[in-house]
Structure 1
């Protein structure tokens, strides 16, 4: 978990469990997206409803390592694996809070685009400066 500069804990909900008795895979993606947007809004000052540029997900991946079930709490770690001119690769580790077991690792790639034209634009300041604090590599 120490490999991730930003961390957030999220309790699972009763409705997160599927018929097999564990948190459904779609919840993992939702939690990754939530951790990323929580960071962008809270730490980097992103205003999703009126910013001139927005982040579009162009790639996502999740590799499941262990099960997790309600009422477990999931700890999510967030870092940036690659910071480009208009794109960013977010990397997320998910851990069961009760025993620190790694339950999933994933990534999202966002491309920042102009809100109106949907054409790529450079990541704006101060977002870029804040992102660089999470970066494990730059490029």
Structure 2
């Protein structure tokens, strides 16, 4: 596989490709009738990993900032099943840090697997006020995202 193919192919990712790893405990209710974590739960894991990181890394409740990130886009490439009761590890990296938006890539890993079970794309656009006017990413947020940029 060429280097460009690896960039374009999320299944080629490894844990070491993600500068931040967050542990998420799976729950009984995460599994569906088919015996695997339901696809909608993967999106909850993305949200939990990104926002948990932002709150811990900034040392502030980001919901209290004047500008906050709203999710403008999400997608997921499902590569294999996740199962309860094994914890999930979410790898975070930032693939684009713009003036008012952030594009995250999240790899979901389980057990000792070095390759992800799923790879997600998660886009925050920063807004302010009741009218949700687009505004720059707050400096405190930008500072903790820069080390995750690839």
When the two structures are superposed, what TM-score results if normalisation uses the length of structure 2? 0.85
Map 1:1-139 → 2, pairs under 5 A:
1-136=15-150
Match of 2:9 in 1: none
Q: Which runs of no fewer than 5 residues in structure 2 stay unpaired? A: 1-14
Deviation digits for residues 27-68 of structure 1 (CA, Å, limit 9, x no counterpart): 100000000000110002342442111111110000100011
When the two structures are superposed, what TM-score results if normalisation uses the length of structure 1? 0.92
| Cα RMSD for the two superposed structures | 1.3
Distance 1:46 1:80 in 2: 20
Flag the structure with higher strand content: 1
Q: Which runs of no fewer than 5 residues in structure 1 stay unpaired? A: none
Flag the structure with higher helix content: 2
1:11/1:72 contact within 8 Å kept: yes
Match of 2:8 in 1: none
Instruction: Tell me the number of residue pairs that the alignment of Structure 1 and Structure 2 aligns.
Output: 136
